[in-house]
């Protein structure tokens, strides 16, 4: 399945993703008011590709932040926004009937590992029922490629690092992780049943400007700048593969015009979890570095110009001690390589945070 890029052929050169996408139909981006969704939509629009953005604008975190993300792209040529809940089967079906999307980037979900312990039914409605409406829309419209967000959390109790897509991912430790793994299985079933091409991307701890207020980078920055204590779980013995949003967007868009093909050599007597006879693939996308949580805090302290007050706590339920992405498969497929180090990305985020909040 691995392509051999040629600079003369946009369809085979991953750096020319914009030239390989059709201009007669818009790309659907779900979660368009979200952190990653708004960034993907903006990049597509600035490349001259029309986008239909969908979001339900729920109040999981400050809706004003979502509104401000939308405001940044609302006036870009080619953008259409529809406020629809993914669980609205009739609304999503009508949307696909109206636009007949050839390419879909599905990023909408109920996010948050810890929140899934307190509000499990929200995850079933958004991440399972909502994903099913997208799969049905893609089936009906004969979509050329669905790229959807999975998560590093699917690796669950796996202690074999770095995490690779040929590792097992069937021991989740949170409901959120279980729904993301279920998305991968659902997409595979539709790829098999209806030859509906789909690619899942397992995101590793995404951060950057316009990020999520429930994530550690935002929470720690906010607390340090306001001289509030920060909660440090597992007594600080944590590592995360922190991935800058610009790198995530690059990986998503390199894959978008490159639907997976069935693997003709797939051995059903010794099935590999990262391959299939159906047009479905799953990739890791991360910075491919396991960074110490204490190093993240030190970078925030340096950028903020003040020391954090730390409350050391035990591991929380549903959490894992380390994430670390093996991205070799994605690199082989698209030439993807992350560009932004944590040492570059954190000062940029802190500067943006100061500007946004007048600090």
Sign of CA dihedral 2, 6, 12, 16: positive
Helices (H), 74-201: 89-99, 113-118, 120-123, 130-141, 175-194
Q: Any bridge partners for residue 27, and if so which?
A: 51, 103
Reported residue count of the chain is: 359
Contact 190, 324 (CB under 8 A): no
Classify residue 278 by its DSSP letter.
Answer: S
Q: Is residue 148 among the annotated active site residues?
A: no
Contact 235, 229 (CB under 8 A): no
Q: Which residues contact 296 (CB under 8 A, 6 or more apart)?
A: 216, 217, 220, 240, 242, 342, 346
CB-CB neighbours of 270 under 10 Å: 6
**Cα angle: 261, vertex 132, 67; to 5 degrees:** 105
CB-CB neighbours of 119 under 10 Å: 12
Q: Any bridge partners for residue 82, and if so which?
A: 54
Q: Active-site residue among 61, 148, 155, 176?
A: 176
Q: DSSP per residue over 217-274, as a string? A: HHHHHHHHHTT-EEEEGGGG--EE--EEHHHHHHHHHHHTT------TT--TTS--TT
Structural element, H or E, at residue 73: helix 63-73
Work out the angle between the directed axes of helices 35-46 and 63-73 (0-180°, nearest 10).
10
Catalytic residues, by residue number, are 176
């Amino acid at each position: 399945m691995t392509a051999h890029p040629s600079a003369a052929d946009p369809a085979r050169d991953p750096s020319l993703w914009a030239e390989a996408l059709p201009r007669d139909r818009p790309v659907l981006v779900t979660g368009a008011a979200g952190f990653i969704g708004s960034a993907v939509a903006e990049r597509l629009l600035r490349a001259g590709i029309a986008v239909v953005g969908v979001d339900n604008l729920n109040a999981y975190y400050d809706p004003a932040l979502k509104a401000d993300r939308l405001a940044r792209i609302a006036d870009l040529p080619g953008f259409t926004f529809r406020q629809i809940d993914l669980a609205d089967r009739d609304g999503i079906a009508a949307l696909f009937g109206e636009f007949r999307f050839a390419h879909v980037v599905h990023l909408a979900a109920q996010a948050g590992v810890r929140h899934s312990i307190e509000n499990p039914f929200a995850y079933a409605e958004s991440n399972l029922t909502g994903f099913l409406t997208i799969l049905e829309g893609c089936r009906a419209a004969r979509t050329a490629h669905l790229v959807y967000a999975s998560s590093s959390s699917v690796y669950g109790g796996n202690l074999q690092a770095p995490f690779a897509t040929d590792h097992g991912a069937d021991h989740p430790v949170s409901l959120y992780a279980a729904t993301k793994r279920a998305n991968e299985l659902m997409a595979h079933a539709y790829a098999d049943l209806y030859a509906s091409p789909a690619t899942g991307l397992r995101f590793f701890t995404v951060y950057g400007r316009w990020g999520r207020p429930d994530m550690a980078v935002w929470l720690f920055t906010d607390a340090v700048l306001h001289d509030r204590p920060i909660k440090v779980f597992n007594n600080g013995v944590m590592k995360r593969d922190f991935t800058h949003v610009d790198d995530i967007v690059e990986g998503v868009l390199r894959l978008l015009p490159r639907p997976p093909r069935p693997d003709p050599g797939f051995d059903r007597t010794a099935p590999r979890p990262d391959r299939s006879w159906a047009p479905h693939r799953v990739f890791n996308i991360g910075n491919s570095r396991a960074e110490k949580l204490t190093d993240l805090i030190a970078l925030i302290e340096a950028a903020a110009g003040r020391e954090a007050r730390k409350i050391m706590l035990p591991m929380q339920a549903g959490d894992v001690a380390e994430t670390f992405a093996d991205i070799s498969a994605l690199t082989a497929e698209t030439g993807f390589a992350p560009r932004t180090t944590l040492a570059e990305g954190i000062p940029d985020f802190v500067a943006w945070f100061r500007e946004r909040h007048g600090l």
